[in-house]
Structure 1
Amino acid sequence: MKTSTRTAAVLVFVYVFVVLIAFAFTFTGNICLAALEMPSMFADGMILQRDQPVRILGKLTGASASRPVHVRLAGLEAHANPVSEESGRWIAVLPALPAGGPHVLEISCNGETRRITDVFIGDVWLLAGQSNMSFSLHGATDQNLLTALPHHGVIRAFHQDLVGSDVPLDSPPGGGWQKEDAQTVKSWSAIGYGFARALQAKAPVPVGLIHTAVPGTSISSWVPAASFSDSPAFFIWRKNWEDVLRNPGPEQTRYDAHRNAWEKQVAAARENGRPAPPMSLTVRFGPMSPKNPRRPAAFFNARVASFTSFPVAGVLYYQGETEGTDALAPRYADALRELVRAWRTEWRRKGWQDLPFVLFQLSGYGIASAKTTWPVVRQAQADIAASEPDVLLVPSMDLGDARDIHPTRKIALGRRAADLAAGRFLRLNGERKSAPVATKAILEGRDLVITFVGVVDALASEKSPATYFEIRRADGSWIPAKSVQLQGDRVRIVDAFAETSAPHAVRYLWTNWSASNDSLLFDRQMPVPPFLLTLQP
C-alpha cells in the first residue's frame, strides 16, 4: 500500500509538473506575441513597395525582448533577433517582390503568430504639402475625367491623426489603411486619387497613397529639426520663430481675430437656421506656439519620419502658398532645396537610395496685379526641378482659379502628374518625361531666341503667344514683347531691340493669374511652365 500510495503521489506530481510546464510555454508564447509592437502602417490592407527589399520591423517589450522573430510573406521567410534586450527592436528583411497580392504577412514569436491580411505589393507614393494636396475628392469639380480611365486595380490610402511631434516617431499616430470604395475615396486627396487612377491606366499595379499633407503649413513644418535649426536656408524662418517665442502677443492677437470671426459666423448661421461653418485648423490648433502642431519640424517628425524606414516610389509635394510673401518668397528656393536633400538624407540613412520628387507648381490665383510673389515661388520650384536629380515639375497655371486659392480641377492635375511620372520615373515607353522647359535665351541679330527641352511635338498657342512675354531693360524695368514667333522647340521674339537698346532678360507668364488660357504656350496639351531667363552672351 505504501508503494502504491507513493507511486500515485509521484504520478500526480509529474502530471502537475507537465501541466505547469505546458501552461508556462503557452503563457510565455502569448506574452511574446502580446508584447509585439509594430508601426501602425503594418495593418490589414497595407501596400508595400514593389521591386525593393521588404523591410518588416517592430519591437518586443518586457520578458520577450530577447526572443527571435520569424516573418513570412508570399512564400518567403526571414528571421530577426532584437538588436539588444534593452531596446527589443528587430528588423527582418525579405527579398524584393514583384507587384501582386493579396498576401498574408505572418509574424511569429515563440510559437505564436500574428497575421496581417490583404497585403498587396505595388507602388507607394507619399503625398505631402499643404491644403491643395490634402484637398479632398468630394470637392473636385472634374471627377467626370475619371470615367475616361479604364477599369483599375487595387488602390489604398493610409491616413493618420493630425498631430505634431518634437521628436521623430516610429509609428504614425492613429494610422490605418483604407480600401477604395464610393464613400472612403471622398475624403482622399483628389490629386492623389487622380494620380493613382491615371497611373494604373499605364502601369496596372496596386497603388498606395500615404496622406501626410496638412492645410496652412509652412515649409518649416516639413523639414527635420536639424535642417530648421542649422541650415542657412531657414535663417528667416528661425528668426520668425524666435520672435514668436520671445513675444507671443502678436500671434495671440492674430489668433483671437480668427477665432472671433469664426464664432460670429457660427452665431449668424444658427440665427438663420443654417449649418455652422466647420472650425478651421487655424482655430483648432490655437496660436502659433511650442504646442501648435504646425510648429517647425513637428509634422516631419509625426507624419513623415516613420516612413523613412521603408522604400517608396516617390513623393508628391504641393506646397508654397504660405511662403508667397515678400519676406519668404525670395528664400523659398534654398528652403525647398534643403527639404529635398534632407528627406533624401533621411531615407539614405535607413538604407534607401532613391526618392523621386514630383513638385506641383503653384496654380494661378487672383487678379494679375494682386500679388507678385507667387511667380517667385513658381520660379523657385522650377529651379529645384532643373538643378536637383529626379525632381519632376508639374505645371498648373492653366488649372487655377481667379477667386479661389484652392482650384477645384484636381483630377486633371493628378492625371498630368501621372503622365509625366510614368515617363520619368516608371520609364514607360512612349510617355513624356517632362513638360517643355525653357533652358537658354540668346540674341540672334536683333531677335531674342529662347530654346526649350522636353518638346514632343511643337509649341503652340490658340491666340497671340506674345501676350505673356516680357523683356527686361538695362534699368531693370520690364516691357511687353510685341511680336513672337513659335518655331518648333524655339520661341523667337522679333526685333527685341525695338523697345530697348540692350535686352538683359526675358520672362514668360510672370503673373499671379492668367485671365485666359488662349494665349498660353502648350505642347500636346502640356503647358509651358512660367520662367525667367537671363540672356546668355
Structure 2
Amino acid sequence: MKRVLILLLLACATSSFAQVKFARLFSDHVVLQRQKPIPVWGWAKPGEKVKVTLAGQAMEAKADPAGKWRVNFKPLEAGGPHSLQASAKSGNAAVNDVLIGEVWLCSGQSNMEWPVSAAKNYEDERKNADFPQIRHFRVDHVVTLQPEQDLAAGEWKVANSENVGGFTAVGFFFAREIYQKLNVPIGILHSSWGGSQIEGWISKEAMLSNDELRSYAQNLPKTWEEADAIMDKKLKKHLFKSATYDPTWEDEKKYISPDVDFTSWQKTADGVGQWDWKGLMGFRGKGYMAKEVGIASDWVAKQTTLSLAENDGLVEVYVNGKPVYEGAVKGSRKIQLPANTWKEGKNILTIKTSSMASAAWFGPGFTGSANEMFVEDGSRKISLAKDWYLMPAFAEKHEYAHLMNNVGTTIYNAMIVPLLPFAIRGSLWYQGESNAGRAYQYRQSFPLMINDWRKLWNDEFSFYWVQLSSYGIDHDSNKGSNWAELREAQNMTLSLPKTGMAVTTDVGDPNNIHPTNKQDVAHRLATNALKNDYGQNIPYASPLYDQMQVDGSKAVISFKNAENGLMIKDRHGYLKGFEVAGDDKVFHYAKAEIQGNKVVVSSPKVSKPAAVRYAWADAPEDANLYSVDGFPASPFRTDSWPGITVNARFE
C-alpha cells in the first residue's frame, strides 16, 4: 500500500510538471514588443500539441522531446490589454493584462541596479509614479555553470507609488520619458548585478571566438567545487603573489603576533562591511582583522572600553599578541579591558572573526556602524573606524559564495539565456566600474558582448550605454587613469552600428561611486532612442573627438556632434580640463579656447604639440566643455601611447 501511494504521488508530480505553461517572462502585466515578430514559448508534455492565442491570432506548436514549445506571432501595433492563452490536453494557461509597446532590456552593474528609492528626489518621484502602462520585470541574482532554460522567479509590476521604489532608476526614468513622448506602453526588462564584471555576461561560445578570452573559456570549471578551488588560488595569488602557497595553522598563528608583517594582508579603508567589497570576494570562513592603534602614555594605567560593531559569530580579540576577549553575542560589543592592556605608542589590535551566525551570506568581518568601532577611557575616545588589514584563515575550513564574479559566463547562463528570444527594441547598459583595471581589454570584451547578444537574439537591436561617470581622484595625465581608459574603450565601441552613449562625467560624485542623479543619465539615453529609434529630430549626442591639427605651437581640436557649436558651462567662463604634451610625452595643463565648433589648445611649456587630452582622470571635476545643445563633451585623448592597463588581463 505504501509503495502504491509513493507511485501515485510521483505520478501526480510528473503530471503537474508536464502541464502546459508559459515561460516565467510571460506573466500578468507583461509588455510585448510592437512592430516585431513576437516569440512566445513554454513547456508541456513531450510531443504534445499546444494552441496559443493572442490579439486575434492563433498559433500551434508541438512540444519537443524536452517538453519545450514555441510560437511566433506576427507583429502587432501598440495597444491592449490583451489575453495570452495556451491550451493542450494537459491543461490550460493564461496571461492577463498583456500590453503591446516598447521593451528595453536594462543591464549592467550597480548603477543600473540602483533603485528609484535611492535616487535623487525620491519622495517627489514616488508621488508622481502613476504610469499604469509602464511595467518592470526584475530578474533575480543567480549564477549557474550551465545555461538555464527558465527563470525560477519574477513578475511584471505596474509603475505606481507602491512599486516604483524597487524599479531600476535609470530604466524607469528612461521609460517615463519615452512614454511621455510616444504615449505607448513601455516594458523594462531589468537584469543587472552590482559589482559584476562584463565577462560574466558573455557566453562561452563568444569567448571561444575571441583570442583574448579563448583560453579562459576552454578551462571553465565544470563543478562549483572546481570553481571554489580556482577562487582559492586567485585569492592566494592576489595576497601572497603565489597561487600555490598554502598557509598552515602554524603560519596563521603568527597573525596575532605583535610583530606581524602586513605585507600580504588586504588593506581596507574601513573596518565595517562585507569583505566581498574590500578585495576578498566570496570568501566564507574565519578571518583576521588587524590595525595599529596609537595610545598615549596616560591611558596605559587606565581601564578602557573596546567597542566593536556587530558580528554574532565567535570573535576573538588580541592586543599585542595577548588574548583579551572571546565570545559570541548579538549586537555591538563593549569589552572592558583592564589597566596595562595597552602600551604607550604603537599597539597591534587583532580580531579573529567567524562568519556571522544569523547571516552566513555576510561572511567574516563586522556589520553595523563604523561609529561603533572605538576605544575609550571614559572621557576620551579613539576611533577605530579606518585603516584595517584583512586576512582570510585559509588553513581552516572555508568555502566561496557563488557570486557574480567567481566564474565568467555564469551570469549570462542564468540571467540572459532564460530571456532569449524575448522581443525587445534595444538594450541599455551601465557597467564598467568593475572592469576599469582591465580597460584596454574592454575594447574587445564590450563589443564582443554586444555582438554576442545580438547574435543570440538574431536581431541587431539598438544598444545604448552610460559612459563611466566621475569617481575618485582628479589626477593629471602624467599619472594616468584606468577610468579614463575605460571611457576610451566605450568611445571606441561606438564604431558598432546602432549604438549610442550617454556622457555623465558632469553628473557624477567623486566621493560616491553611486551618484544619485539618475534622471539626467536616463534623459541622455532617452535622446539616443528618441532620435535613432523613434525618428524625432532632436539633438541627442555629446561632442566626440574627431581630429587634431597642429598650427605652430597650437593644437586645433575638431569634434563630431558639435554642428551647432560649443560652449563653456560654469561660472568662471574659461575652458578647463585640457592638457597638452610634446614629443617628450610630459603633459602640462593648457589654455583652451572655443572657436566655433573647434577648440584651440596651447601651453607656453610646449612649443610643438604632439598630444592633447581632455578630462583624462578618474574624476575630471573641472571639465566644462559642452555642445550648445547642452551635452557634455566626452573625455578623450589624441594620442595612442600605452596606458596603465595595457597589460591587464581577465583570469
The TM-score normalised by the length of structure 1 is 0.81
Alpha-carbon contact 2:18-2:43 (below 8 Å) kept? no
Structure 1 segments unaligned to the other structure (5+ residues):
1-27
Match of residue 113 from structure 2: 134
Cα deviation digits, residues 130-178 of structure 1 (max 9, x gap): 1111011111124478599998551111123221112222212212211
Amino acid at match of 2:541: S
Match of residue 32 from structure 2: 48
Separation in 2 of the partners of 1:281 and 1:114? 37
Match of residue 13 from structure 1: none
Cα deviation digits, residues 377-405 of structure 1 (max 9, x gap): 011111102x1111111100011112111
Identical columns (%): 25
Match of residue 413 from structure 2: 301
Task: Using the TM superposition, name which of 288-297 and 303-312 deviates more.
Answer: 288-297
Separation in 2 of the partners of 1:424 and 1:182? 31
Match of residue 473 from structure 2: 367
Alpha-carbon contact 2:541-2:561 (below 8 Å) kept? yes
1:88-237 to structure 2, matched below 5 A, reads 88-110=67-89, 112-143=91-122, 146=125, 152=131, 154-234=133-213
Separation in 2 of the partners of 1:111 and 1:500? 79
Change (3 A) 1:151 1:215: closer
Query: Equivalent of 2:331, from 248, 266, 270?
Result: 270
Cα deviation digits, residues 419-445 of structure 1 (max 9, x gap): 2221122222x2224222221111245
Amino acid at match of 1:247: K
Separation in 1 of the partners of 2:415 and 2:521? 24
Structure 2 segments unaligned to the other structure (5+ residues):
1-11, 222-226, 240-265, 267-279, 290-306, 313-329, 335-355, 365-391, 393-397, 641-651
Match of residue 317 from structure 1: 429
Match of residue 244 from structure 1: 230
Task: Using the TM superposition, name which of 184-193 and 287-296 deviates more.
Answer: 287-296
1:47: how far off? 0.9
Alpha-carbon contact 1:153-1:200 (below 8 Å) kept? no
Query: Equivalent of 1:378, from 477, 483, 487?
Result: 487
SS in 2 for 1:170: coil
Separation in 1 of the partners of 2:399 and 2:430? 22
Alpha-carbon contact 1:33-1:108 (below 8 Å) kept? no
Change (3 A) 1:80 1:145: same
Match of residue 527 from structure 1: 632
Alpha-carbon contact 2:22-2:93 (below 8 Å) kept? no
Amino acid at match of 2:62: N
Q: Give the RMSD, CA atoms, in angstroms.
A: 3.6
Amino acid at match of 1:403: N
Alpha-carbon contact 1:228-1:296 (below 8 Å) kept? no
Match of residue 521 from structure 2: 413
Note if 1:74 corresponds to 2:55.
Answer: yes
Change (3 A) 1:245 1:136: closer
Match of residue 347 from structure 1: 457
SS in 2 for 1:232: coil
Separation in 2 of the partners of 1:521 and 1:140? 25
Alpha-carbon contact 2:484-2:618 (below 8 Å) kept? yes
Alpha-carbon contact 2:132-2:159 (below 8 Å) kept? no
Give the structure with the higher percent strand: 2
Amino acid at match of 1:472: A
The TM-score normalised by the length of structure 2 is 0.68
Alpha-carbon contact 1:435-1:526 (below 8 Å) kept? yes
Separation in 2 of the partners of 1:367 and 1:435? 23
SS in 2 for 1:452: strand
Alpha-carbon contact 2:527-2:541 (below 8 Å) kept? no
SS in 2 for 1:345: helix
Separation in 2 of the partners of 1:282 and 1:232? 37
Match of residue 42 from structure 2: 58
Match of residue 541 from structure 2: 434
Separation in 2 of the partners of 1:478 and 1:240? 43
